């Protein structure tokens, strides 16, 4: 495989991750509304080098979750988006909904990514 072919393959992988990221962001917005949670705005990449996810607040715009896509597994991106919602809403084991219940509900609202090992 040539360097150009490798670059094209990496570009296609990144593009597919962006499609999943955008779809999950919309699905999480609807799920948050159903759970009575604030839906953060999702962006990529994080501003900080070397991190996969950041959560920040900007007045009056609300909460932003930045997730690194790159060549990371789709399952990791999905998990970072879900955890971003939990952190953005300050959920804990004693909150209503609890962090664990919210994670389960949010995960259930998202289409699971294809098995990347089979692809």
- The pLDDT tens digits along the chain (119 residues) read 555 545 556 567 778 899 999 999 999 999 999 999 999 999 999 989 999 999 998 777 689 999 999 989 999 999 999 999 999 999 999 999 999 999 999 999 999 887 764 44
The residues spanned by each domain of the chain are 3-109
The DSSP H or E segment spanning 24 is helix 3-35
Q: What is the 3-state secondary structure (H, E, C) of 44-102?
A: CCCCCCCCCEEEEEECCCEEEEEECCCCCCHHHHHHHHHHHHHHHCCCCCCCCCCHHHH
Q: What is the pTM of this model?
A: 0.85
N-terminal to C-terminal alpha carbon distance within the chain: 18
**Cis ω before 60 (30° cut-off from 0):** yes
**Which tokens is 102 given?**
């919210």
């Amino acid at each position: 495989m040539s360097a150009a072919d490798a670059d094209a393959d990496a570009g296609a992988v990144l593009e597919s991750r962006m499609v999943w990221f955008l779809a999950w962001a919309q699905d999480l917005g609807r799920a948050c509304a159903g759970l009575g949670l604030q839906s953060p705005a999702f962006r990529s990449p994080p501003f900080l080098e070397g991190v996969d996810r950041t959560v920040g607040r900007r007045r009056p715009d609300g909460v932003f979750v930045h997730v690194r896509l790159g060549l990371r597994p789709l399952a990791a991106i999905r998990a970072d988006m879900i955890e971003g919602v939990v952190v953005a809403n300050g959920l804990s084991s004693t909150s209503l909904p609890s962090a664990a219940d919210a994670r389960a509900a949010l995960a259930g609202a998202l289409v699971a990514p294809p098995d990347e090992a089979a692809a």
